[in-house]
Amino acid sequence: MYHLLLVRYGEISLKGRNRKMFEDLLIRNINAALEGLSIQSISKTFGRLYIETENWQEAAARLGKVFGIVSVSPVLRTELDLEAIEEAAVRVMEDTKAKTFKVETRRPNKNFPMSSPELSQMLGGHVLRSVPGLRVDVHTPDVTLNVEIRREGAYLYSQIVPGLGGLPAGVSGKGLLLLSGGIDSPVAGFLSLKRGVAVEGLHFHSYPFTTERSKEKAVELGRILGQYTGTRKFPLWICHFTEIQKAIQGVPFPSLRITLMRRFMMRIGTELAKEKNAYALITGDSLGQVASQTMESIFTINAVTNMPIYRPLIGMDKSEIVEIARRIGTYETSILPYDDCCTVFVPKNPATRPTVEQALEAESHLDVAGLVEEAVARTEYLEV
């Protein structure tokens, strides 16, 4: 019965040029999300969008993955005719399972002959007479029947479907996500996308020590994240890490292997980020979760780069991360049991308090710059 979707978006604090950029990107992302659906029009009025479509359910489901949308409502539009508005009010209320309701009217079109309170009262009375079992409750109603009297017609709705919030993906500049096949890094990518970061992925792969399937897993996670990027694509860099892993194996401090591996990842990430004009690296670290995520480890790992490193999960418990992973659809893929480049090479007793001095001493056995340069040169690009 609905042919129109009302889309509300944030953030109120945005002004001027930022607001324009926000809206333009949001509309681009909405268009990409609705691709293939029959859409008659998308129009912008008073800081909201109206989308005309024959298939509002599917459209609303897709918009549920578009950052920047606060909520959507299916809307019934009628002519500016009292009887038509009454009939529409009944249809909208019959569509809800509510026991109690109230009517709220707004009247931007001052030519309409009734005031907002008059119209609310009249429609409330009409609905009460027409829908059995319904009561008015002006304080805590189950649903509010919203009526807007505009120049183009009367707009009625009662459902409000919450959206993801956040900022339109891409509004904030580029960030490079270190994407493993685990649970955490895809969630870190999702939360960065939520604040408008144009996220690209970087996956380290150690073939033949890890299988082709472990790479496929990262590709699949990239594909899932691609549902939230606003472009329906996810740029993914695959870095061949085998030579570096082998070199690290030869260094006489096994407990430092993870630290050294992470320092290489950060160096390679930094070079790629500079090349691609990204402003930050992003990881799925959560403080204290494993040896490489203690404050001392993070200090020693960060010491190789001046690039900001975002760690959106730093304060989260595993259970909170898992909950988000389930909600966004990455969890099932993340728990597939393929080896990761780190699990294969993980030492028995990884250092929990590695110092920069220890790391530098261990790295003095390696041609760090040469290994990094070679790895960067061998990085492949995939668009998934």
Q: Which amino acid is at 288?
A: G
The kind and range of the H/E element at 18 are helix 16-33
For Mg ion, the binding residues in 152-211 under the rule CB under 5 A are 180, 182
> How many chain residues are in contact with ligand ATP, going by CB under 6 A?
21
Interatomic CA distance for residues 104 and 10, integer angstroms:
22
- Told to check if 260 binds ligand ATP by CB under 6 A, we report no
Residue with tokens 């799925």: 284
Site stretch for ligand ATP (CB under 6 A), options 106-114, 122-130, 181-189, 192-200: 181-189
The string of DSSP codes covering 217-265 is HHHHHHHHHGGGSSSS--EEEEEE-HHHHHHHHTSS-GGGHHHHHHHHH
The helix (run of H) or strand (run of E) holding residue 102 is strand 100-106
The encoded tokens of residue 379 equal: 């990085």
Beta carbon nearer to ligand ATP, 124 or 181: 181
By CB under 6 A, residue 126 contacts ligand ATP: no
The residue range among 36-44, 48-56, 127-135, 202-210 that interacts with ligand ATP, by the rule CB under 6 A, is 202-210
Cβ nearer to ligand ATP, comparing 50 with 338:
338
Q: Which stretch binds ligand ATP (CB under 6 A): 1-9, 107-115, 290-298, 372-380?
A: 290-298
Q: Rule CB under 6 A: say whether 283 interacts with ligand ATP.
A: yes
357-to-52, 290, 308, 363, 367 alpha-carbon distances in Å: 63, 21, 22, 10, 17
107 binds, among ligand ATP, Mg ion, none (CB under 5 to 8 A by kind): none
Q: Is 140 exposed, middle or buried (0-12, 13-18, 19+ CB in 10 A)?
A: exposed
Between 183 and 371, CB nearer to Mg ion:
183
Q: Which residues bind Mg ion (CB under 5 A)?
A: 180, 182
Q: Which residues bind ligand ATP (CB under 6 A)?
A: 178-180, 182-185, 202-204, 265, 283-285, 289-290, 292-293, 340-342
